[in-house]
Amino acid sequence: MARNNQYEQSSNRWRHYTVMGAGLLLFAVLVARLTQLQVLDTDFLQVEGAKRTVREHSIEAYRGMIVDRNNEPLAVSTPVKSIWVNPKQILKDGIDVSQLAPLLDMSVSQLSARIKQNKNREFIYLQRHMNPAQAKKIQALHLPGVGIEQEFKRYYPAAEVASHVVGFTNIDEQGIEGVELAYDQWLQGTPGKGRVVKDRLGRLVKDLGVMEVAEPGSELMLSIDLRLQYQAYRELKASVQQHGAKAGSLMMVDVKTGEILALVNQPAFNPNNRSELKAASVRNRSVTDIFEPGSTVKPFTIAAALMAGEIKKDSVINTHPGYLRVGSKTIRDHRDYGELDITGVLTKSSNVAVSKLSFKLGGENLWGFYQQLGLGKPVGLGLPGENGGKVAVETNHWSRLQSATLSYGYGLAVTPLQLAQAYQVLANDGIKHPLTLIRRPVEKGTQVIPKSVANDVVHMLESVVGPKGTARRAYVEGYPVAGKTGTVHKVGANGYEDERYLSLFAGIAPADDPKIVTIVVIDEPNGREYYGGEVAAPIFSRVTQASLRLMNVTPTVFEDKAIAGRLE
């Protein structure tokens, strides 16, 4: 009996020690494991945990503003919210989105269908660029799998008025037209990075702060004066409508700097509302469209002849009998003007006279001079779609007919931009400045025409706006102005068309101390009036009148009202 008790006690002790040993061993294993997790594997586990909870997100950068020369905003970015969802999570967790639908102006069935269509995706936008106040209502729902993202939306305060200059961006604020495209890299900012902790349902637990600060884009100041831009836009639009024209362009250049002060086209578009955007409205015709400039190049033929010593400013040219046979072609004036002095050649716009001058100059010399002025060559503004135009291909042999047609603006094609460049040279004492849309220090110019010749030709062009000239309607009360009209037949499938015209006017103001050059092009005026002096010249008059006053240019001409009345 005693032996049995001893055996039982020994057995119990053994079981006790075994249990204790097992417990100690288990404890040791747990301690070892905890040591491994807390000490040896802590870095690994933190990384793995962060992968599942810590998220990096992009911080949108503010796109640089575009302003006019007086700091008036032309393009600004405003903060907006964009709503996104994780369709995979919403469907997996059976999240109810019925409250979300009306806040997105969607039915529950539409929203559900959208989510189901993207069931294998973890991110889709439901609505971009939402009003922040509306986004707050969505945020207040605290729906798992639904997120709100900070973005920016581009807004254009001048709307249609500056649309062709400024252009516009896409929904991601990437430039796709105008200055927005040309200077996209300058305007774009550099996005930053932030870090947050989210739970398994995608809800924000903690904001860990900014890793990289977003760098805003740079501001861009244009040479455009919004006040002058508005005047140009208003008058061009009214005239295109009045004459039932297909299209129109107007640009104004600062004579002394080459800065473009206004550039407008019709038709135009509203970059803030693109629901009815048309390609014809977006096209910047001032830089993309080419045309034969017609009589607007005659002042340059005169300048070339004066420079070559072929004529003097008081020379006389006989245009009798009012036409000139050149091979199989007959070059005509409106009537027989007989003998004309050089000023009279421009006043009457004589094709016969400038043709005779071209015979003395030779086509190759006239061609070279046009090239120096920038006709038929890209100006290089950087705007998308700029057309280089075309001046007759250089050749060792120029026929008399080629020389003649070149002298009065046929056989070459230019843009309004190039014509403005050429007139800027004429108005600026013969000094050429590169045209620019950017406000910047004035670059050193190039002397293309001797000062005396340039001044003489500008003075001659004053007569074109006088009582006996072709541009009487270009008269500007209070200021002497100079300029040249052009009326050009458009080219169709079968050559020049009798009933389709371009009406042109190139003007300089004030003529006694030039400040601005303005080019007006009206495409296919429909009606009884189609000459440049009837259609384009009045636009120049109204725009110049308003612009010179806005620029605080003091009037220098005070005429009797009766005299002014005869010029209407």
Residues carrying an active site annotation: 295
327: left (phi over 0), alpha (psi -120 to 50) or beta: left
- The counts of H helices and E strands in the chain are 21, 23
> Two tokens at 345?
């050649």
Cβ-contact 511, 481 below 8 angstroms? yes
Give 177's strand partners: 168
> Could you give the angle at the alpha carbon of 432 between the alpha carbons of 383 and 411, nearest 5°?
70
> Residues 6 or more apart from 129 whose CB is under 8 A from it?
80, 81, 82, 151, 153, 171
C-alpha span between 24 and 30 (Å, rounded):
10
4-29 b/e (C-beta count within 10 Å ≥ 16 → b): eeeeeeeeeeeeeeeeeeeeeeeeee
Cα separation of 306 and 300, whole Å?
10
First to last CA, the chain: 146
Q: Is there a contact between 368 and 341 (Cβ–Cβ < 8 Å)?
A: no
DSSP structural state of residue 145? T
Give, in order, the Cα–Cα distances in Å from 294 to each of 354, 485, 502: 12, 9, 9
Q: How far apart are the C-alpha atoms of 392 and 394, rounded to whole Å? A: 6
Specify whether the CB–CB gap between 248 and 239 falls below 8 A.
Answer: yes
Other C-beta atoms within 10 Å of 249: how many?
A: 27
CA pair distance 63, 66, nearest whole angstrom:
9
Beta carbons within 8 Å of 138's beta carbon, 6+ residues apart: 83, 100, 103, 104, 146, 148
Residue type, 130: M
Beta strands in 379-528 (DSSP E): 390-391, 412-413, 431-432, 446-447, 482-492, 495-509, 516-523
Output the CA–CA distances (angstroms, integers) from residue 266 to 281, 379, 521, in the order listed: 7, 21, 10
Cis peptide leading into residue 510 (ω within 30°) = yes
**Alpha-carbon dihedral 446, 504, 470, 234, rounded to 10 degrees:** -100
* CA–CA distances in Å: residue 311 to residues 139, 301, 351, 530: 80, 11, 16, 33
C-alpha 490/C-alpha 501 separation (Å) is 5
Q: Tokens 């977006």, residue?
A: 282
